[in-house]
Amino acid sequence: MSEKFDVIVVGAGPAGTSCAYTAAKNGLKVLLIERGEYPGAKNVMGGILYRKQLEEIIPEFWKEAPIERPVVEQRFWFLDKESMITTSYKGLEWAKEPYNNFTVLRAKFDKWFANKAVEQGALLINETVATECIVEDGKVVGVRTDRPDGEVYADVVVLADGVNSLLAKQLGFHKEWKPNEVALTVMEVLKLPSKTINERFNVKDGQGVSVEIFGDATHGILGTGFLYTNKDSVNIGVGTTLSGMMKKKLKPYELLEHVKQHPMIQPYIEGSETQEYLAHLIPEGGFNSVPKLVGNGVIVTGDAAQFVNAIHREGSNMAMSSGKIAAETIVKAKETGDFSERTLDSYRTEIYDSFIGKDLKKYKDAAHTFEENPQYFQEYVPLMNQAMNTFFTVDGTPKWEKQKKIIAKMTAGRGKIGLAKDMYKAWKAVK
Amino acid sequence: MNILVCIKQVPDTKIIKVNPKTNTLDRSSAPAILNPYDAHAVEEAVRLREIHGGKVIVLSMGPPQARNAIRKCVEIGADEGYLISDRRFAGADTLATSYALFKAIEKLQHEQGIDLVLCGKHAIDGDTGQVGPGIARRMEIPPLTNVIKVEEVDLEGGKLKVRRKIENGYELIQSSLPCLLTVEKEINEVAYSPLPNMLRAARYEPTVWTVDDLDDVDIKQLGLKGSPTIVGKMWPPEKSSGAEMIEGEAKEQVEKLLAITLEKRELFGVKGGEK
Amino acid sequence: MNIEEYKDVWVFIEQRDGQIIDVGLELLGAGRDLADKLEVNLCGVLLGNGVKDSASDLFSYGADKVYVIDDPVLEKYRTETYMKAVGDLVRKYKPEIFLYGATSNGKDLASAVATEVMTGLTADTTLLDVNLEKRLFEASRPAFGGNIMATILCKKHRPQMATVRPKVMKKPEPEEGREGKIIEEKITLKEEDLRTKVLEIVRDAKKAVNLEEADVIVAAGKGIKDEKGFNMVKELAEVLNATVGASRDVVEAGLCGHDHQVGQTGLTVTPKIYFAIGISGAVQHVVGMQNSDMIIAINNDPEAAIFNAAHYGIVADAFQIVPMLTEEFRKALKGEEAGGVTANV
């Protein structure tokens, strides 16, 4: 007789593990199924971990979690071919408890996090692929795995199996993502001595920098690059929509090479050794792409539910919160023994009331705005760079004349009205 | 038939990296895995149990994390797992290792009876293959190394027949039971574990023994103290004068290489090794 | 244990079907150097049935003495008989150093004897020396996946034992007329008391690969990436009538069988020409092929360690240059075939 659990969680990433942790902590019998050799083995993330959501699950987690560096400075680089404009905020209060956010290596972090769930009593099995949900009388009652005798049952199955959630698709919760709904992120972990990182990024041990890169990094495709400092390595990567990449006929590694060799970026990573190369699909669709979230005996969380803020590159925090909310929903449902869609639907309403729903709604048009108006990346970033160049080059021209020149240049491309329209649209998209 | 399998958790040497400057191992880059040969030994034990009954008991020496390697064996189908873990075992060479394992086997032998001992051919982090025969000598049972097939087990007659891999072939050898086999990878394919095994393994807590749990242990024979061999020094391999580089465009390189090798063109006429 | 009592360098002389195999002779060559440095005798240990007459052959390879046990129970190798016989000899004559060929049986025996007489054993050594000041045997081998060499010492136990893979040491030229002493010993075991029995020995005569005897080897490393790359290497080997070798990565990636593996955990080879294609040159590989007469390395990384081991190096993309080589060799060797030299593909 196959075993029955209270909850089966498919996927031991941030969403799945948060759910397993919370459910187990509340006394539920939990099975966490991971397809990788261990949690984290197949996960890719730019490498920023936000404090707040994990802290709600594990208070003061930074005391034991394998974090790389607390981020004390966030930089934004707007690149043209041979120039860039930067803005940044550095705050040393972020170097102290409770910190703001952290750089992490997912392979280490996920393993640690899953182990915390195991400590709470969740059962973790690796190297096992859940191939389908077992549906009886319109209810999900368990999952079938790729292993012999591979059926296992539960009151509720939580799908946290990532952006390309096979199981959610099989249930008809969503269709194949459209190419503009998913981004491809490619990244490399580059080994560099911590001393070199400290010098190049102007920080001390135990302090990290996150850099978000706009403009020339992505060859004008919608998307951004990033550069994050770990202890003795940096993560460099670039994410763009799949559709943009298809249009430009670019291969992912070509794009990453372009970023790495950019004259503004190259000095930061010079002499480093590539440790890992990773590529991963990330949902970028936002609010408009969120699938059906709840069914009889089933809940969808994390990337599988497209809970990603494409603009602010936040996914793991939404994943963790959604996993936690899913677990709390199930704990409540357990009290009545009713796991129908109607009962579990409180998950959906809670998600929409939380920052996840609010953020997704806020930015719901952003991706499309940028997608349909490539001039934001193709034209404005170079224009801004030229403007700055004109402004700062010391050549005896009075400043007011320079300003005139700048305005003339900016409007030459799209005309004043076009420019104003674009600005308004962009402002509306991200405000 | 109770079968004891000795296993080891090893760093995955496929992934392990050496820092060329300091010559130290970057162990963080190497995940710990069950020694691949040992997985085949456990698989063979499970198959024999399916035919002859009894149980499969796994034994390992190592740090507490080695419990994960034992769980892996439970996934494959082992019934029980024991880990001997104690600082006093640390730094053991093959002689001290076989002693420690032998003391644990003695205890298991006494408690439940052991009919057959299996080991992997060697561990991939040392490649020595010395512990298995060492254990057999201490148990005073015959070792049959490099086994590629168990031909026959005659429990009533108290004997078995195996194929043992030797250079350019194999030998068929018969032994009385109990005996110790070390197995090659060819002996079987490790089956994809059924889900109930995975669930059992995830919950399984191996029994952990320290030195004090074993009987009549001569502490002097354990760990670093009990190891006759020590590592004297380590050094990067010598750099020879190096190759004469053949420069130029690809076409030029090909021409130059042909000129050099075709001086020995007679070698390319008759196939040396293959018949 | 009184270490002072232990003298002489011993070599286990393995025989198959009564014929002495080369590894024992190779080790007599290496052992001779050690014995000369220590100013002691070099002794062979020869066990078998009807092997006594072969004992005197060992003198010309450098042995001063040969311990012989000639008995029907020793006809075929068995751990229990050989371990007992060798153990008795060690206890009686007390050698200082004892070398074994790292063959299936040699490794098996050395491991059992080490426990029998309670001493240290270093496996698969590639470099042997003595520290005269401390009078210690220094046995070195690649360690930890093969990127570093480690010297293993055995300070307080004797004999100091090591196994050495076939072909790692050079077989010495026999010195005709050299003489020595044969010492015959007896074994007390009787067949009916033994627990193991060799029923049959099957030697595979038409083995698909025999790297150890190949004159030309074309070997692939992980730089060839996948099956396509491996086939490209195979094609070159075919044109050259060569045997295909591989590094550990290639074998573990499942591109070819373990029979093709060259290196510490594979075979040691000494062909006339060794092509290393896309092989990085980790020590664990190099120890298996460094005694080849001519080593030609092709690698796209000019810093690759393989260029230190090679005689000729080409920095190039294998995927570009190997097909060119195949084509040019095919053209160049075509004439020969017509001229009467038979190819055997």
Residue A26's pLDDT is what?
97
State the residue range of the domain holding A394.
Answer: 367-430
- Structural domain count, chain B: 1
Same domain membership, residue A265 and residue A205? yes
Give the mean model confidence (pLDDT) for residues A62-89. 90
Q: In the 8-state DSSP scheme, what is residue B55?
A: -
> CB under 8 Å, gap of 24 or more: what pairs does A126-129 form?
A126/A12, A126/A34, A126/A35, A126/A36, A126/A37, A126/A38, A126/A39, A127/A34, A127/A35, A127/A36, A127/A37, A128/A33, A128/A34, A128/A35, A128/B195, A128/B198, A129/A35
pLDDT band, residue A285 (cuts 50/70/90):
low
For chain B, give the percent of residues with pLDDT over 90. 74
Top residue of B34, B75, B195 to mutate, by most chain A CBs within 10 Å, is B195
| Chain B stretch 20-49, residues whose beta carbon is closer than 8 A to a beta carbon of chain C | 23, 25
- The single-letter code of the amino acid at C95 is P
Lowest mean pLDDT among A385-399, B35-49, B83-97: A385-399
Q: Compute and round to an integer the Cα radius of gyration of chain C.
A: 22
Coil, strand or helix: which one is C257?
A: coil
Residue A304 pLDDT: 87
CB under 8 A, 24+ apart: contacts of C129-136: C129/C34, C130/C34, C130/C37, C130/C38, C130/C97, C132/C37, C132/C38, C135/C38, C136/C160
Residue whose pair of structure tokens reads 């959630």 in the numeric block = A165
Spatial distance between the Cα atoms of A18 and B212, rounded to a whole number of angstroms: 41
Rounded to an integer, what distance in angstroms lies between the CA atom of residue B238 and that of residue C240?
31
Q: Does A39 lie in the same domain as A173?
A: yes
Instruction: Using CB atoms, list chains with 3+ pairs below 8 Å to chain B.
Output: A, C
Task: Report how many domains make up chain A.
Answer: 3
pLDDT at residue A284, as a whole number: 65
Q: What is the pLDDT of residue C95?
A: 98
Q: Is the CB of A148 less than 8 angstroms away from the CB of B192?
A: yes
pLDDT at A431: 45
CATH code of C3-193, in short, is 3.40.50.620
Do residues A273 and A131 share a domain?
Answer: no
Whether residue A149 and residue B195 make contact (CB cut-off 8 A), yes or no, is yes
Query: From the CA of A163, how many Å to the nearest CA of chain B?
Result: 25
- Which of A254-258, A417-421, B209-213 is predicted least confidently? A417-421
Confidence at residue B19, expressed as pLDDT on a 0 to 100 scale: 54
Which residues of chain C register pLDDT less than 70? 144-147, 205-209, 335-345
Does B261 reside within a domain?
no
Same domain, A301 and A162: yes
Local confidence band at B163 (pLDDT 50, 70, 90 cut-offs): very high
**Residue A399 sits in the same domain as residue A424:** yes
B227–C120 CB contact, under 8 Å: yes
Question: In B23-98, where do the E strands start and end?
Answer: 25-26, 32-34, 56-61, 80-84
C328:B254 CB<8 A? yes
What phi and psi, each to the nearest 5 degrees, are found at residue C74? Answer: -100, 10
Beta strand residue intervals within A216-327, DSSP E: 223-229, 233-241, 273-283, 294-295, 298-300
Establish if B37 belongs to a structural domain: yes
Nearest to B54 by CA among B3, B1, B111, B4: B1
Q: Which amino acid is at A153?
A: Y
Task: Kindly state the DSSP code that residue B114 receives in the 8-state scheme.
Answer: -
Final residue of a structural domain among A230, A253, A283: A283
For C61, C104, C214, C217, C263, the CA distances from C209, given in Å and listed in that order, are 30, 18, 9, 11, 16
pLDDT value for B273: 39
* From A286-300, A356-370, C202-216, the region with the lowest mean pLDDT: A356-370
Q: Residue B257 pLDDT more than 80?
A: yes
When comparing pLDDT for A205 and A283, which is higher?
A205
What's C268-319 look like in SS3? Answer: CCCCCEEEEECCCCCHHHHCCCCCCCEEEEEECCCCCCHHHHCCEEEECCHH
Q: Which residues of C touch B172 (CB under 8 A)?
A: 198-202
Residues B253, C273: C-beta atoms closer than 8 Å: no
For CATH 3.40.50.1220, the residue range(s) in chain C are 211-338
Q: Are residues A277 and A236 in the same domain?
A: yes
Residue B50 exposed, middle or buried by CB count within 10 Å (0-12, 13-18, 19+): exposed
Same-domain status, A371 and A347: no
* Residue C105 CB contacts under 8 Å (≥ 6 apart), including other chains: B166, C14, C77, C82
Q: Per mean pLDDT, which range of A60-64, B127-131, B232-236 is the poorest?
A: B232-236
**Residue range(s) in chain C whose domain bears CATH number 3.40.50.620:** 3-193
Q: Stretch A243-257: mean pLDDT, rounded?
A: 79
Q: Return the pLDDT at B58.
A: 98
Residue C172 to chain B, least CA–CA distance (Å): 23
Nearest to A149 among B194, B201, B203 (CB): B194
Considering the domain architecture, whether residues A220 and A328 belong to the same structural domain is answered as: no
**pLDDT digits over B212-243, tens only?**
999 999 999 999 999 999 998 888 766 566 78
Last residue of a domain, one of A319, A353, A387: A353
Nearest-CA neighbor of A11 among A164, A183, A209?
A: A164
Instruction: State the CB neighbour count (10 A cutoff) for residue B8.
Output: 23
Q: Is the predicted pLDDT of residue B265 greater than 90, yes or no?
A: no
- Domain residues for the domain of B104 are 3-221
Nearest-neighbour CA in chain B from A131: distance (Å): 13
Chains C and A touch (3+ CB pairs under 8 A): no
Last residue of a domain, which of A283, A299, A331? A283
> Nearest by CB to B199, which of A38, A123, A146?
A123
Question: Domain for residue B252, yes or no?
Answer: no
C-chain residue closest to B176, CA distance: C195
> DSSP E strands: which ranges in chain C?
9-13, 15-16, 19-20, 42-48, 65-70, 97-101, 121-125, 127-131, 136-143, 148-154, 160-164, 181-185, 196-203, 216-220, 243-246, 273-277, 294-299, 312-315
Give domain status of residue A35, yes or no: yes
* Beta carbons of B128 and C151 less than 8 Å apart: no
A123, B195: Cβ pair inside 8 Å?
no
Q: What angle, 0 to 180 degrees and rounded to 10, lies between the N-to-C axes of helices B67-76 and B195-203? A: 150
The average confidence (pLDDT) of chain A is 84
Give the pLDDT confidence of A18-38 residue by residue, as tens digits: 999 999 999 999 999 999 988
CB contact under 8 A, B199 and A38: no
- Architecture per CATH, domain C211-338, reads as 3-Layer(aba) Sandwich (3.40)
* The most confident of A414-418, B30-34, B95-99, by mean pLDDT: B95-99
Please indicate, yes or no, if residue A358 is contained in any of the structural domains: no
> Among A281, A301, A278, which residue's Cα sits nearest to residue A291?
A301
Q: Are residues A371 and A277 in the same domain?
A: no
CA trace torsion A386, A388, A390, A394 (10° rounding): -140
Position A215 pLDDT exceeds 90: no
Q: Which amino acid is at C192?
A: E
CB-based contact (8 Å) between A125 and chain B? yes
Preferred mutation among B72, B198, B204 to probe A, highest tally of A CBs within 10 A: B198
Domain-located, residue A82: no
Instruction: Give the pLDDT band (50/70/90) at residue B106.
Output: very high
Largest Cα–Cα separation, chain C: 70
**Coil, helix or strand for C110?**
helix
User: Measured between beta carbons, which residues in chain C are less than 8 angstroms from residue B141?
Assistant: 195
Task: Classify residue A362: in a domain, yes or no.
Answer: no
Reported confidence tier of residue B133, pLDDT bands at 50, 70, 90: very high
ipTM, interface predicted TM-score of the complex: 0.87
Structure confidence at residue C343 (pLDDT): 37
pLDDT band of residue A423 (cuts 50, 70, 90) is low
Contact A341, A294 (CB under 8 A): yes
Q: Which two tokens stand for residue B263?
A: 């001086």
pLDDT on residue A422: 62
Residue B248 lies in a domain: no
What is the distance between the alpha carbons of residues C63 and C50, in angstroms, rounded to a whole number?
20
Confirm or reject contact between A344 and chain B (CB < 8 A).
Answer: no
Over residues A271-296, mean pLDDT = 80
Please determine, for residue A399, whether its predicted confidence score (pLDDT) is greater than 70: no
Report the phi/psi class of residue A228: left, alpha or beta, with left for phi > 0 and alpha for psi in -120 to 50.
beta
Query: How many C-beta atoms surround the C-beta of residue C3 within 10 A?
Result: 13
Q: Does one domain contain both A121 and A162?
A: yes
Q: Is A425 helix (H, G, I), strand (E, B) or coil?
A: helix
A323 with A258, same domain?
no
Q: Are residues A233 and A296 in the same domain?
A: no
Sign (positive/negative) of CA torsion A30, A34, A38, A41? negative
For residues A14 and A116, the answer to whether their CB atoms sit within 8 Å is no
Position B120 pLDDT exceeds 70: yes
Residue C345's pLDDT is 35
Does a structural domain hold residue B41? yes
Q: Does A150 touch chain B (CB under 8 A)?
A: yes
- Residue B7 placed within a domain: yes
CA pair distance A9, A122, nearest whole angstrom: 10
For residue B112, give the CATH number of its domain.
Answer: 3.40.50.620
Query: Comparing C-alpha atoms, which of A123, A161, A153, A137 is closest to residue A295?
Result: A137
Lowest mean pLDDT segment, chosen from A38-42, A55-59, A104-108: A38-42
pTM value is: 0.81
- Chain A CB contacts of B69 below 8 Å: none
